[in-house]
Amino acid sequence: MKNILVAGGAGYIGSHTCLDLFDKGFTPIVYDNLSNGHAEFVKWGPLEIGDIRDRKRLDEVLREYQPQAIIHFAAAIEVAESVRDPGAYYDNNVGGTITLLRAAQAAGINKVVFSSTCATYGIPCSIPMNETHAQSPINPYGQSKLIVEQILRDLDRYQGFCSVILRYFNAAGADPAGRIGEWHSPETHAIPIALEAALGRRPHFQVLGSDYDTRDGSCIRDFVHVLDLADAHTRAVQHLLDGGASHALNLGTGHGTTVKELVDTVRGVVGKDFEVKYGPRREGDSPALVADNALARATLGWSPRHDLQSIIETAWNWHANHLPT
């Protein structure tokens, strides 16, 4: 089996990607400092505890396992937190990535799949957004990811270091078998918050902004199942191992859902009502983010298999029956 280092592999998307990698014949080597990840989610390969800013530790792990490629999820990801503390985001997301990439080069590794984000685009000029859309982030989180994208482009151009940059939209859902799911502390993502409200674990669900220029005044987001994202990462690894060129690709369904529509769908799936309140817009949020995924389809042969109903059903199964309380 081929070893793949998965930095941040104990987190939400990282752990689902490890599951997918294992199912397709790879051995995922999880490298995680467990600041946001969970050791319980490391089920399909070894766990090596370490920070991407720790060059000595990275060198040790790369020397021991000699991975053929790296998937890089190890980043701080919360928009509001990045606005409150931009320096922390640049320190980890940019500084840590540079250390990781330098360690990879020293170990003779020149293939990386990078977890990027639609937040690099900023306010959309057109919907759906394709990869040629201008990149103008409106928050430090998106800016930190864009800087890494620029670094990877330079490494490819000048040193032959190949990468697949995956700009995904709103990850959601869980492993249908309930082995792993979305578990953040504190939770800031819309679907798990709505499910917690339905379960009575929080008093209400809050819609952040009801005056956007959208069909019902709430934000529009493109929710894509976490296992569809995982499948894209494994396909990207195989693309690089097969000698494929560097690419930046959008990962989304191409269908936008407003937050109010999301609430209605959650109510339908769980069969329960819950209180909804309306608050002001959150700083750093775009009104609408919807992917044009044609390039990912053409380059990786990838297509999303789960719709919003499936996303919420798998998330509900996880939150209602498996999420630690």
Q: Which residues are catalytic?
A: 141
Which residue from 231, 221, 230 is spatially nearest to 253, judged by alpha carbons?
Answer: 221
Q: 187 vs 13, 183, 283, CA distance in Å?
A: 15, 7, 18
Map residue 223 onto helix, strand or coil: strand
Q: Which two tokens stand for residue 14?
A: 């990282």
How far is the C-alpha of 85 from the C-alpha of 278, rounded, in Å? 26
What b/e readout covers 93-115, taking b as 16+ CB neighbours within 10 angstroms?
bbebbebbbebbeebebbbbbbb
Are 71 and 233 in contact by the 8 Å Cβ rule? The answer is yes
- Residue 251 has phi, psi (to 5 degrees) of -125, 105
Question: What is the signed CA dihedral for 151, 152, 154, 160, rounded to 10 degrees?
Answer: 150
Map residue 18 onto helix, strand or coil: helix
